[in-house]
Amino acid sequence: MTAYAAILLALIATGITVVLYFKAYQSAQPSPSSEKTATLFYKAAAVALVLASGYLLSLLLTDNFGYEYVFSYSARNQALAYKISAFWAGQEGSFLLWSLFHAGFGLILARKKAPAAMMAYSALQFLLLAVVVVKSPFRLMPVIQPDGMGLNPLLQDPWMVIHPPIVFLGYAALAMPFAWAIHGLLTGRHKEVIAQALPWTLFAWSSLGAGIFIGGYWAYKVLGWGGYWAWDPVENSSLVPWLVTGALLHLLLLARVRETAAKYAYLSATINFVLVLYGTYLTRSGVLNNFSTHSFSDEGVGVILGNVLFITAAGGLAVLVRCWPKLPHGDLFLHIKSREFCLCMTAILLAGISILIFAGMSTPLITSFAGNPASLGQSFYNTACLPLVAAMVLLLSQGSLLHWCENSGHFIRKYWWLLLIAIAAIIPALTLGIRSPFALFTVGTALAAVVSTLIAVHTKMLSYPAGLTHIGFSVALIGIVFSSMATHSVVTSFEPDVRQEIFGEGITYLGKQTDTYGNGFYYQFILDDPPGTQLLPHTKQHKDGSPAVYEPGIYRGLTSDIYLAPVVSESNGELKLHKGETSSREGLNIKFIRFSMNSGTDGDIKAYAILEVTKDGLVQEVKSELTPHNGQMLPLPVRVYDNYEITLTSIAIKDGLAGITVRNLASPSKPQKLDAEISRKPLMSLVWLGTILVTIGTAWAALQRSHCTAHNDSPSATIQNYIPTKEG
């Protein structure tokens, strides 16, 4: 109970911190000692969170299955990396990790001597800790278990070790612009807020974006359905805050020149963190169980998450409404052919895309009130969002070459040749079968944007980090359009050692082999070009031997990927028998009598199926076994009537169902066919290259901006660095 007491202590200390910073904010001349006391309480909360987190990690690493959380997400034979990642695999641990990151960032904010910002930030931390108190990872098991259930095989992947922490890093960072927005609303120190919020907005955009991109790569690499983004409501719940963060960033950049943009930045920052909590509610309250494979089931956390969402939204918007009349007024831009106009319109388009996706992902929740829950398909998102994306890329292709605070009247006359570059990009898209006008327009303007960004960076009209981000975004869009609209697929039946030519590529299926750890098996394919290249689709298994994950085999080329995913497992003559049921296979009559289970001296539980096997009037009782090995339940074949092998492949005790295979060892083995879907996906490399460039560019910009803030560069001086003269 010590760790739970630490969480309670963190909650109480954070509550005191909120009160003390509120008093410091209200005081006309807050004394240094009052802020120091508030900071001490905040540090005490942070230390308590570190202790609780360290204790949970130690429980996982020492296989302490007396705790429900450890039992649910870890196992003795689980790899070290996956024991660590079990920390954030469940609801309880992920909220604790989020709170830990939040507390760490708060220690940085506490050094800024901004009581209003710390008051808002500590209030958010109090709400997060309330969730952790209710949903604690330190609940004890009624009986200590010898082993745990282990991490879901889907999550036993290196990318899933880092994906959740990076997303939560972004969520925690987004609380910073929210806190600074409250500070700006209450104090009127808009220039200070713009300078302080910019690096955190960039960092949040980079980390949350990296988490989303890694999730997409994991889906492409592991799930085997052929894509990287399915417009799943839970996927969208992190995408919407990322898009709104992009809008917030462009508004903050605009606010350095046009202070009136600050009020829209405050609105964006407030709504953005509310959207983070709304997405968390959708994901973890169980309302999307029937519409998303990623959502958590309802584990009693929905009510408190709903309250946290309501309190944050009501509090933030109340401050915004109260202070709105006092915020700066004026024009956001003076000329359409100016950089301010492009920044403003980019923010509006990002907000528009966010609204469309928000509406789509909220459809299951909204329609459930009418008694007929439903969700929107991919076609809605593609159709609704693509025109706005095309318009945004058009702005991107021009905005970098426009000047600040003046009318760049001769842009078209000067850069008319960008149109030729756009047309050059459209031609290969047409040849590959892309016919959507908006998709073709996006490809053309994205290539033009790459060229215009290079010119802007060369002429110092755009910084290197901004240029890298713009280029990455454009490159990723080109890859997304080609890979999603020009992919060709075919389902083919393979026989071992028989070469087939598909999409001009020679492919030979060699058969199947057990993987190194005995947790599944590989299908072996070999390509003619490059010679000797192997594709190894991997099937991971649950402990009972049933398939858990079907990973595809992928050959990553510069211009296209070859993507191979088995669609039907090879026929193995499996019988599904209920208790008392009899069936025939290979000349044998097999009756399933009952299940049997026992525990060995090492504590491992073995499962048996008791079968009655009849051949030529003779009856033999057989006990086929599933035994633990490396955290999995592996089948052990048993020999009957000399020439037959019976294997228990799966059990479902609740349903009284057993899966059984029968093999006649005397008969010659037959070639086993395998059906697989082969796809050629053009320019997939550009999707990953572009997302990497976006992540690096935004992280680089965050470092630059934090350096400027740390050295107390004045906002006015910083603005001048971004307003080039006509000479460049």
Residue 402 pLDDT exceeds 60:
yes
Q: What is the Cα 152 distance to its own chain's centre?
A: 16
What is the SS3 assignment for 335?
Answer: coil
**Phi, psi for 539 (deg, rounded to 5):** -105, 115
To which residue do tokens 């009693």 refer? 300
pLDDT given for residue 434 in this prediction: 93
Please give the pLDDT value at position 161: 93
3-state secondary structure of 221: helix
pLDDT confidence tier of residue 725, bands split at 50, 70 and 90 = very low
Please report, as a single letter, which amino acid is at residue 359. Answer: A
600: tokens are 């060995």
Q: Who has greater pLDDT, 588 or 27?
A: 588
Six-digit token string for 363: 């459809």
Give the confidence band of 271 by pLDDT, cuts at 50, 70, 90.
very high
Q: Residue 28: what pLDDT?
A: 64
Angstrom distance (rounded) from CA 195 to CA 392 = 26
Calculate what percentage of the chain has a pLDDT beyond 70: 89
Q: What is the pLDDT of residue 568?
A: 55
Q: Sorting pLDDT into bands at 50, 70 and 90, what band is 715?
A: very low
Higher-scoring residue by pLDDT: 337, 536:
536
Residue 720 above 60 pLDDT?
no
Tokens read off for 260: 């009136």
**Mean pLDDT, all residues of the chain:** 87
Give the tens place of pLDDT for each residue, 196-242. Answer: 999 999 999 999 999 999 999 999 998 888 889 988 888 899 999 99
Reported as a single tens digit per residue, the pLDDT across 660-696 is: 888 887 776 555 678 899 999 999 999 999 999 999 9
Q: What is the pLDDT of residues 570-604, one digit of tens each?
A: 445 578 888 888 888 888 889 888 887 776 555 56
pLDDT grade for 546, boundaries at 50, 70 and 90: low
* Helix 233-255 / helix 261-284 crossing angle, nearest 10 deg: 170
pLDDT of 716 > 60? The answer is no
Q: What is the CA radius of gyration of the chain?
A: 30
pLDDT > 80? residue 444: yes
pLDDT in tens, 171-193: 999 999 999 999 999 999 999 99
| In the predicted structure, residue 113 carries a pLDDT above the cut 90 | no
- Long-range pairs for 493-502 at CB < 8 Å and ≥24 separation? 493/673, 493/674, 493/675, 494/525, 494/673, 494/674, 494/675, 494/676, 495/671, 495/673, 496/671, 496/672, 499/528, 502/678
Kindly state the percentage of the chain with pLDDT values over 90.
Answer: 55
Check residue 298 and give its pLDDT. Answer: 55
* Domain ranges within the chain, ordered by starting residue: 1-151, 491-567+673-682, 575-664
Query: Number of C-alpha atoms within 13 angstroms, CB side, residue 149?
Result: 12
The pLDDT-based confidence of 263 (bands split at 50, 70, 90) is very high
Q: Is the pLDDT score of 433 beyond 80? A: yes
SS3 content of the chain, % helix, strand, coil (to 5): 55, 20, 25
Mapped onto helix, strand or coil, the DSSP state of residue 410 is: coil
Residue bearing the bigger pLDDT, 467 or 728? 467
Contact status, residue 7 vs residue 48, Cβ threshold 8 Å: yes
Q: Which spans in 78-152 are helix H? A: 80-85, 91-109, 115-134
Whole-number pLDDT of residue 9: 95
- In angstroms, how far is the first alpha carbon of the chain from the final one? 64
**How many residues does the structure list for the chain?**
728
Return the pLDDT at 719: 41
